[in-house]
Structure 1
Amino acid sequence: MKHADFSTLDTHHVLPAGTRRTLTTTPLFGLDLVDATAEVTIRALLSPGRRRVHFVNAHCINVAARDAAYARALRTGDVLLPDGIGIELAARMAGRSLTENLNGTDLTPRLLAAAARAGLSVFLFGGRPGTAEAAADRLCRDIPGLVVAGCRDGYAGAADPRAAIAEINASGADILIVAMGVPRQDTWLADHADLLKPRLTLGVGALLDFLAGNVARAPRPLRRARLEWAWRLAMEPRRMARRYVAGNAVFLLRAARHATMQPQAQALAKRALDLGLAALALVPLAPVFLLTALAVTLDSRGPVLFRQIRVGRDGQTFEMLKFRSMHVDAEARRGALEAQSDRSGLCFKSRSDPRVTRVGRILRRYSLDELPQILNVLRGDMAIVGPRPALPAEVSAYPDRARARLRVRPGITGLWQVSGRADIGFDKMIDMDLSYAARPSVLMDLVLIGLTVRAVLGGRGAY
């Protein structure tokens, strides 16, 4: 074994400048995991700059959910590397993919080989007494030119953090490898980050035990099949049962919940809810459609349905359908009435609008004029819940911030509709729409649909 002479951050997922240029990341469980090949990752880790590296696997996510200090260590780490089939599955469930499995057992020896070529030294810290030294011997046999600057066990050798840090710093090591298991190794690195001199620090779990021969790794075919966890369970059933049997089940449930919270999953679920409710509503509402159409026809001349171009998601226009509640010359008369608007802002509304028919006032009072928009929902132009569909002229006059409401499909009902409709001013309506557009969800839709019934019966702002 060759030896050299022995003479915390508060930002969120911020990679050092040199790392940022070469490593892309993918968000998962609120963490930014590296999405790159092993070669690119190693080159970035060994580039100039200080970095604290953590490997993240399914067990890590489970532990972080109940250990605040460990979760903080991961959140403030400089580089988080995806480790194992569990993380890969969770990424797929969330509609993402990871370039490579960057587990510590395989990546770290490759990293040290590159470090040896670059003339960088390493300090091994962890394991039972003698384990770090045995691992160092193995590494030096496998990696010509590797300089191990020092070794220290993770038991008595870790009892005094100050003494451990002093020895690590005095060794002059460029890289510190800590193998104390999760979460101890990661919280130790995070707690002492400001005192440690090595420019690259990593928590590597059982790596030193594997290198020292204390624990046998799974045969290569099992590793290629991503079943190393099953091998470890078979080798140490009593110690690993909780982690791999119960833990894997908990992790998959956690991954499924995380996936359902992703924007893509929420969008699919929301669209499914829209289609289901719209289709179910057509049959029981058919008599209402027929009676309403008859009433409109008998009350005033003109078509039963009113068709108007509105602006939908991403600024796309569509033809919105309503039961006609105004006389046929309503649009021509609008300009002369806009000064009489009872509502502040861009959207014209008048309590005594003379263009509204007798039947139209009843339709508007109980929102029956909106029923044909169910067809807009089935066509995909609208949603059951969403911002009010705006007129092109209104959108052209929008302030910049109001355009964010166009990120989602407009709806038959929404926050504005259940909060007072026309009694709500334009600026307040925009605030409500932006709030909804930022966090659309099926649960929110169900709540608003329930509140819509109360709003319709109450009739506030319906004119």
Structure 2
Amino acid sequence: MTFAPSPTTFFPAHDARFGSQPAPERPSPVRLFGIDIASSSSAAMIEHLLEPGRRSRVAFLNAHCANVAARNADYADALVTADAVLPDGIGIEIGARMSRQRVTENLNGTDFVPALLHEAARRGLSVFLLGGRPGVASAAADRLALRIPGLRIAGTRDGYEGLEDETATRAAINTSGADILLVALGVPLQDLWLARNAERLRPRLSLGVGALFDFLSGRVRRAPEPVRRLRCEWIWRLAMEPRRMAGRYLWGNAAFLVRALRHATGQGDGVAPLRRMLDIALAGGGLIALAPLFGLVAVALRLDSRGPVFFRQTRVGKDGVPFTMLKFRSMHVDAEARRDALLAQSDREGVCFKSRTDPRVTRVGRILRRFSIDELPQILNILRGEMSVVGPRPALPQEVAAYPGHALGRLAVKPGLTGVWQVSGRAEVGFDKMIDMDLAYARSRSLILDLLLISCTFRAVFGGRGAY
């Protein structure tokens, strides 16, 4: 089955902001592993790279690239000497956060390059595609020409026979008059080739774009939009090609996190990165292992009652920052509208509403709640950094608004999928007792305590105490 991307999949509509800024913002760097990584919005970076008179060699850095650079000095040098290194994927974002830095936007090549080419077409610039299997670059060029009106394709050349004679390859690129050169030879070959030939190439902008041509041509299917929004495209690629990608994404991601941890601890920040590593490892592994269960639950919910599979609700996270929490829907679609009328039936004293006989809960929902299956989509909140595996129960905004002053201390840490309250009886624990538990956890949290609570979670789930 081939994948034909829609115009919005790879070819976002032109942003009217491009070209309207009188002075392009200079992208500020985040320093990681000795490499300056651009921290910029996509629009500002495109303005910067296409600024008249500028010549730039661009590389993308993701967790796999960082691992390769750690053992290949020539590739590391090619990254250090590039005019711009753009952050590609959640790994770089996590690595930056470990070092108390922030990347403004994920500028992965599969999304960034088509946006760049939209603006290039508006400015009358041309592009040359080099790399891929025979026929892939030309197929990608045809797709680009169809999807981006006015884009000039200066030429294409594959990465096999088309690359055997380096002198001939340079001559083909230079005589084409291309303004932009896209090179898709994989890591580290594409960046080594560009660094070696930089002074002898005429295009003013060159980028090493990895597997982009495969995606653009339809040869390789990209992750669905919801998966990409959740920053879990690596899990999709692992599921599609488990043998080829296991080393890169399972062992490779673990090696990257260890390397990022060492980088962070060199700057005096140790426990937070370790906790984040634990979150990523458990949530990522859990998402892969539980994928079949997710599918079965989705079917059961559709058959049982009207409404979406997932329930989205605003909850309050660390430091009072709101976020959208995900759950499997366990209630009827009008549950929120009926909540106020049921408050008097709460089985629990205090702010938080809980009712053992809540009529809003569906038949399938009662089973999901009995075994806490409804909470599992919060794995995605953990991967996004909004929650942790262990922490206080995420509260509703109206609950936080009604908190007594001392209860706000539970917002000092990220909310969790499991925690002291969750393993101590859940709904059978009163509000005041829950607050005391959460405050005690926030004061004394440690990795050992987190691991202990995780181990107790299994007993709590199968015991079912307070789960309704």
> TM-score with structure 2 length normalisation?
0.52
Distance 1:68 1:20, change over 3 A: farther
Distance 1:51 1:120, change over 3 A: same
Which of 257, 260, 267 is 1:255 aligned to?
260
Distance 1:157 1:229, change over 3 A: same
Deviation of 1:239 after TM superposition, in Å, equals 1.1
Tell me if the contact between 1:121 and 1:173 (Cα under 8 Å) persists in the aligned partners.
yes
Q: Which residue of 2 aligns with 1:29?
A: 33
SS in 2 for 1:253: helix
Greater gyration radius: 1
Whether 1:163 aligns to 2:168 is yes
Deviation of 1:160 after TM superposition, in Å, equals 1.1
SS in 2 for 1:81: strand
SS in 2 for 1:192: helix
**Could you tell me how far apart the structure 1 residues matched to 2:160 and 2:237 are?**
23
Tell me if the contact between 2:261 and 2:270 (Cα under 8 Å) persists in the aligned partners.
no
SS in 1 for 2:246: helix
Q: What is the letter of the counterpart of residue 36 of structure 1?
A: S
Tell me if the contact between 1:19 and 1:44 (Cα under 8 Å) persists in the aligned partners.
no
Where in structure 2 are the equivalents of 1:58-137 lying within 5 Å?
58-137=63-142
Write out per-residue CA displacement over residues 80-100 of structure 1, whole angstroms, 9 at most, x where no aligned residue: 100100000001111111110
Tell me if the contact between 1:58 and 1:86 (Cα under 8 Å) persists in the aligned partners.
yes
Q: Which residue of 2 aligns with 1:174?
A: 179
**Could you tell me how far apart the structure 1 residues matched to 2:216 and 2:224 are?**
15
Tell me if the contact between 2:57 and 2:207 (Cα under 8 Å) persists in the aligned partners.
yes
Which of 192, 205, 217 is 1:187 aligned to?
192
**Could you tell me how far apart the structure 2 residues matched to 1:189 and 1:103 are?**
19
Give the total of aligned pairs. Answer: 251
Q: Which residue of 2 aligns with 1:403?
A: none
**Could you tell me how far apart the structure 1 residues matched to 2:162 and 2:233 are?**
30
Deviation of 1:265 after TM superposition, in Å, equals 2.8
Q: Which residue of 2 aligns with 1:372?
A: none
Tell me if the contact between 1:124 and 1:152 (Cα under 8 Å) persists in the aligned partners.
yes
Deviation of 1:26 after TM superposition, in Å, equals 1.3
| Unaligned 5+ runs, structure 1 | 1-17, 269-463
Deviation of 1:111 after TM superposition, in Å, equals 0.1
**Could you tell me how far apart the structure 2 residues matched to 1:102 and 1:138 are?**
21
Q: Which residue of 2 aligns with 1:41?
A: 45
SS in 1 for 2:206: strand
Tell me if the contact between 2:118 and 2:151 (Cα under 8 Å) persists in the aligned partners.
yes
Deviation of 1:159 after TM superposition, in Å, equals 1.1
Q: Which residue of 2 aligns with 1:238?
A: 243
**Could you tell me how far apart the structure 2 residues matched to 1:86 and 1:266 are?**
17
Which of 207, 213, 217 is 1:202 aligned to?
207
**RMSD between aligned alpha carbons?**
2.0
SS in 2 for 1:74: helix
Distance 1:266 1:219, change over 3 A: closer
Q: What is the letter of the counterpart of residue 208 of structure 1?
A: F
**Could you tell me how far apart the structure 1 residues matched to 2:189 and 2:142 are?**
25
Q: What is the letter of the counterpart of residue 41 of structure 1?
A: M
Write out per-residue CA displacement over residues 182-236 of structure 1, whole angstroms, 9 at most, x where no aligned residue: 0000000001001100000000000000001110000111101111111111111
Q: What is the letter of the counterpart of residue 149 of structure 1?
A: A
Deviation of 1:19 after TM superposition, in Å, equals 10
SS in 2 for 1:226: coil
Deviation of 1:267 after TM superposition, in Å, equals 13
Q: What is the letter of the counterpart of residue 24 of structure 1?
A: S
Deviation of 1:21 after TM superposition, in Å, equals 5.8
Q: Which residue of 2 aligns with 1:434?
A: none
**Could you tell me how far apart the structure 1 residues matched to 2:117 and 2:168 are?**
25
Q: Which residue of 1 aligns with 2:439?
A: none
Q: Which residue of 2 aligns with 1:216?
A: 221
Deviation of 1:116 after TM superposition, in Å, equals 0.3
Tell me if the contact between 1:19 and 1:45 (Cα under 8 Å) persists in the aligned partners.
no
Q: What is the letter of the counterpart of residue 195 of structure 1?
A: R
Whether 1:53 aligns to 2:58 is yes
Where in structure 2 are the equivalents of 1:444-459 lying within 5 Å?
none
Distance 1:199 1:224, change over 3 A: same
| Unaligned 5+ runs, structure 2 | 1-21, 273-468
Q: Which residue of 2 aligns with 1:324?
A: none
Which of 133, 152, 155 is 1:150 aligned to?
155
**Could you tell me how far apart the structure 1 residues matched to 2:37 and 2:123 are?**
26
Q: What is the letter of the counterpart of residue 33 of structure 2?
A: F
**Could you tell me how far apart the structure 1 residues matched to 2:214 and 2:230 are?**
22
Deviation of 1:24 after TM superposition, in Å, equals 1.1
Give % identity.
61
Q: Which residue of 2 aligns with 1:379?
A: none
SS in 1 for 2:269: helix
Deviation of 1:266 after TM superposition, in Å, equals 8.3
**Could you tell me how far apart the structure 2 residues matched to 1:51 and 1:206 are?**
21
**Could you tell me how far apart the structure 2 residues matched to 1:67 and 1:267 are?**
29
SS in 2 for 1:202: strand
Structure 1 segments (4+ residues) deviating >2 Å: 18-21, 264-268
**Could you tell me how far apart the structure 2 residues matched to 1:228 and 1:19 are?**
34
Tell me if the contact between 1:124 and 1:176 (Cα under 8 Å) persists in the aligned partners.
yes
Tell me if the contact between 2:24 and 2:44 (Cα under 8 Å) persists in the aligned partners.
no
**Could you tell me how far apart the structure 2 residues matched to 1:221 and 1:114 are?**
26
Tell me if the contact between 2:162 and 2:169 (Cα under 8 Å) persists in the aligned partners.
yes
Deviation of 1:43 after TM superposition, in Å, equals 0.5
Which of 139, 144, 147 is 2:144 aligned to?
139
Q: What is the letter of the counterpart of residue 219 of structure 1?
A: P
SS in 2 for 1:178: strand
**Could you tell me how far apart the structure 2 residues matched to 1:265 and 1:241 are?**
29
**Could you tell me how far apart the structure 1 residues matched to 2:163 and 2:150 are?**
28
